[in-house]
């Protein structure tokens, strides 16, 4: 049993106990406020049962419902909201029809029973909050808050009972307050269900978290579009990304990684669909390591004293920038290859021309990972090496 199922189960059990206690008190005291409260607890049993049933059945997609039956949960919640409103109306009607006892009977017993209900609700609220924080489940924390307001409505009843003991006829007012609590819960359940049924967007927090995860990946150039919705307790995410990749296979890998990260980070993510396209570049940056004379191609990469960096417009092949940069890492003791690779990546490197293969070296790995094309040349003259590569682009 997963944690959410266990808590839903315990919630049903707690509320059944509360319904039994409160119903007994209604029969003994005739208090309308307690009756309203008992109805409230009954609707809580129903909504917890929906959650449990929802977890059980909604996960199974079938041929007729290929997206699963997640929304059954929301549909039944809508029905529950309706039932709550009907129950609330009944109570209000009784208050104003004046068919009620002015003072409840068996007040000490009713007060005692209500105190027990308060303790039970308080304990369960504490438990749900603790579990919610432990598992990081926002739905459990929301549950705990709900149970907390349930406790408050019982406290209102206790106060009215104590008032009644001194002859103040507070019961009908307490009943109205409890109905207000019920009404608030009903509105919340209703809006929530309708939002999900109409495919409203995911909450801002989750959307921002997804955006953070996606943009943290250096291979993502841009998020074209991000859409996400709920169905039942599950989240469905759609992303349209531009990736810094050339091959489709690599793009697929990046998309898979992002998918996994989203699924691990957010709760109840059922499906992540990522559409991606490789980045279309308006300019291509080429670079070649130079020797001391600044004209011949260096045999080294990390130790090369200079780098020629040339930027060419993709559309017509016109060179828009051509400069010789000093390699400030050439005298470094350790990992200069990787340092130079990262420096060139920051310069926007797309194509590197070298005389010796970088395969198996740290620099080769760093550049390959960023999808830089590494071309081996036999030319010694940098101008000729660049010209032959540019003719191929
Ligand atoms: Zn409740």
Q: Distance between CA 158 and CA 163 in Å, rounded? A: 9
Residue with tokens 């009977």: 105
CA of 236 to the centre of ligand 1 (A): 29
Residue with tokens 């059945």: 57
pTM of the model: 0.57
Q: What is the mean pLDDT of the chain?
A: 85
List of residues 6+ apart from 137 with CB closer than 8 A: 3, 4, 131, 267
Reported CATH class of domain 3-197: mainly alpha
Give the model confidence (pLDDT) of 128-158 as tens digits: 888 877 766 666 777 777 788 888 889 998 9
Angle, CA 146 vertex, CA 142 and CA 151 arms, to 5°: 145
Per DSSP (E only), the strands in the chain are 220-231, 234-243, 269-278, 283-290, 306-313, 319-326, 351-354, 373-376
Reported CATH class of domain 283-392: alpha beta
Give SS3 for 325.
strand
357 close to 381: Cβ distance less than 8 angstroms: no
Q: Which token pair is 70?
A: 């997640």
Give the model confidence (pLDDT) of 73-101 as tens digits: 777 778 778 877 888 888 888 778 766 55
What pLDDT is recorded for position 238?
94
What pLDDT is recorded for position 344?
92
Burial class (CB in 10 A: 0-12, 13-18, 19+), 1: exposed
CA of 384 to the centre of ligand 1 (A): 79
243 close to 251: Cβ distance less than 8 angstroms: yes
CA torsion, ordered 292, 294, 296, 297, to nearest 10 deg: 90
Instruction: Sheet containing 269-278: give its strands across.
Output: 220-231, 234-243, 269-278
84 close to 186: Cβ distance less than 8 angstroms: yes
Instruction: Give, as one character, the DSSP assignment of residue 19.
Output: H
CA of 39 to the centre of ligand 1 (A): 10
Assign domain 204-278 to its CATH superfamily.
Cation efflux protein, cytoplasmic domain (3.30.70.1350)
pLDDT at residue 56 is higher than 80: no
Give SS3 for 135.
helix
pLDDT at residue 357 is higher than 80: yes
pLDDT at residue 61 is higher than 80: no
CA of 165 to the centre of ligand 1 (A): 27
pLDDT at residue 106 is higher than 70: yes
CA of 176 to the centre of ligand 1 (A): 16
What pLDDT is recorded for position 98?
66
pLDDT at residue 18 is higher than 80: yes
CA of 86 to the centre of ligand 1 (A): 16
CA of 216 to the centre of ligand 1 (A): 41
Point out the least confidently predicted range of 1-15, 117-131, 167-181.
Answer: 1-15
Residues 271-277 have a mean pLDDT of: 91
**Residue of higher predicted confidence among 96 and 120:** 120
Q: How many residues does the chain have?
A: 393
CA of 156 to the centre of ligand 1 (A): 14
Residue 355 — pLDDT band, cuts 50, 70, 90?
very high
- What are the residue boundaries of the structural domains of the chain, listed by start? 3-197, 204-278, 283-392
């Amino acid at each position: 049993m997963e944690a959410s199922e266990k808590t839903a189960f315990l919630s049903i059990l707690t509320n059944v106990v509360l319904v039994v206690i409160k119903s007994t008190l209604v029969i003994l005291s005739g208090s309308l406020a307690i009756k309203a409260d008992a109805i409230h607890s009954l609707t809580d049993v129903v909504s917890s049962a929906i959650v449990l049933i929802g977890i059980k059945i909604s996960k199974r997609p079938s041929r007729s419902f290929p997206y699963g039956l997640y929304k059954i949960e929301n549909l039944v919640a809508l029905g529950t909201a309706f039932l709550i409103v009907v129950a609330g109306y009944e109570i209000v009607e009784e208050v104003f029809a004046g068919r009620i006892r002015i003072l409840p009977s068996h007040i000490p017993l009713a007060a005692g029973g209500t105190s027990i209900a308060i303790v039970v609700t308080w304990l369960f609220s504490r438990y749900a909050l603790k579990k919610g924080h432990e598992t990081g489940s926002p739905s459990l924390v929301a549950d705990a808050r709900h149970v907390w307001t349930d406790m408050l409505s019982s406290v209102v009843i206790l106060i009215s009972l104590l008032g009644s003991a001194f002859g103040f006829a507070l019961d009908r007012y307490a009943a109205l307050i409890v109905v207000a609590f019920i009404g608030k819960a009903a509105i919340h359940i209703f809006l929530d269900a309708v939002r999900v049924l109409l495919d409203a967007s995911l909450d801002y927090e989750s959307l921002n978290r997804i955006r953070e995860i996606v943009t943290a990946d250096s291979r993502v150039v841009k998020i074209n579009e991000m859409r996400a919705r709920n169905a039942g307790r599950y989240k469905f995410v759609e992303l349209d990304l531009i990736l810094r990749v050339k091959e489709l296979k690599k793009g697929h890998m990046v998309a898979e990684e992002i998918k996994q990260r989203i699924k691990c980070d957010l709760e109840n993510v059922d499906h992540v669909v990522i559409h991606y396209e490789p980045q279309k570049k308006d300019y291509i940056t080429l670079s070649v390591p130079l020797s001391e004379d600044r004209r011949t191609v260096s045999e080294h990469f990390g130790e090369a004293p200079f780098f020629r960096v040339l930027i060419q417009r993709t559309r017509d092949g016109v060179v828009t920038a051509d400069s010789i940069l000093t390699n400030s890492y050439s005298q470094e003791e350790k990992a200069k290859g990787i340092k130079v690779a990262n420096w060139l990546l920051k310069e926007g490197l797309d194509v590197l021309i070298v005389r010796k293969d970088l395969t198996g070296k740290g620099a080769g790995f760093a550049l390959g990972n960023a999808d830089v094309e590494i071309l081996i040349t036999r030319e010694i003259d940098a101008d000729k090496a660049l010209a032959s590569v540019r003719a191929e682009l």
